[in-house]
Amino acid sequence: MSDHHALARRLREAYLSGAVAPLRDGLAADDAAGAYRVQAINTQHWREQGRRVVGRKVGLTSLAVQKQFGVDQPDFGVLFDDMWLPDGGTLDPAGLLQPRAEAEVALVLARDVTNPNASEEDIAAATQHAVAALEIVDSRIADWKITFADTVADNGSSAAFVLGQQNLPLAGLDLYSCGMVLEVNGAVVSVGAGAACLGHPLKAAAWLARTLVAAGEPLRAGDIVLTGALGPMISLMPGDKVVAKIGGLGSVSFNYGGAA
């Protein structure tokens, strides 16, 4: 049997010592149960170290991203308070290995979602507001040579996230056809739309809600939900200024380190 604790420790150490080889010696590519076990071990470890869970992220919701990494289903990871970067803030490259960024729709919940068959309508009813978001992903697996199990175990390849300053109720928003433009240093580098996110951001959030209820850890009031990429992710270089603009939700930005 796999030593999930050893795999979890290997990933934690990679944050400090550098990326490691894929976890093929302990996790088969499609071993979802084992991978989420590794993720849970590290989540508990970090909680004991004082980090606070503020929500969840849904990953691999875009068919383009799924094809990019050879997977065929979404995944999720945990958002901690120290991953939250202010809008327009600066992200220190020293704490990252091979970062990339993607634009997303974030939801902030007003109440718990405990229905095991949660629908898009349930998510909409539980949502306090939507907000434009950027997720900075990173992999502790060398050269991003990840399988589904690798990225799940590695907390959904998470690193940091940024929320915009326009908190908007869902009423009147078109999260299906809303356009997304991602710019780096003023140049357009990625485009997409709400429909790229598992067909609709609310569908992605409903999948997450059902999955977490089944795991005994339902979404709670106040949770932030990053619903998934609206278009292809982009690599980051020190000095980059990243801005995402999402139709109806406004813009959100961050700087990756100082001037190049």
- Going through the chain in order, the beta strands assigned E by DSSP cover 53-59, 75-80, 84-85, 90-91, 100-109, 127-137, 158-163, 179-184, 187-193, 224-229, 234-235, 240-246, 250-256
The answer, yes or no, to whether residue 77 has pLDDT greater than 90, is yes
User: What mean pLDDT comes out for the span 155-173?
Assistant: 97
Percentage of residues of the chain with pLDDT beyond 90 = 90
Q: Which two tokens stand for residue 126?
A: 């539980």
Q: Looking at residue 69, what is its pLDDT?
A: 63
The answer, yes or no, to whether residue 260 has pLDDT greater than 60, is no
Beta bridge partners of 182: 190, 244
- Number of separate domains in the chain: 1
Structural domain harbouring 123: 4-256
pLDDT tens digit string along 9-34? 999 999 999 999 999 999 998 899 99
User: What strand order describes the sheet that includes 187-193?
Assistant: 90-91, 250-256, 240-246, 179-184, 187-193
Query: For position 57, which CATH number holds?
Result: 3.90.850.10
With residues binned 3-state (H G I as helix, E B as strand, rest as coil), the percentages for the chain, rounded to 5, are 30, 30, 35
pLDDT tens digit string along 197-255? 999 999 999 999 999 999 999 999 999 999 999 999 999 999 999 999 999 999 999 99
- What DSSP assignment string belongs to 184-220? ETTEEEEEEEGGGTTTSHHHHHHHHHHHHHHTT--B-
pLDDT tens digit string along 104-117? 999 999 999 999 99
pLDDT tens digit string along 201-213? 999 999 999 999 9
Q: Looking at residue 73, what is its pLDDT?
A: 80
Q: Looking at residue 1, what is its pLDDT?
A: 44
Q: Looking at residue 30, what is its pLDDT?
A: 86
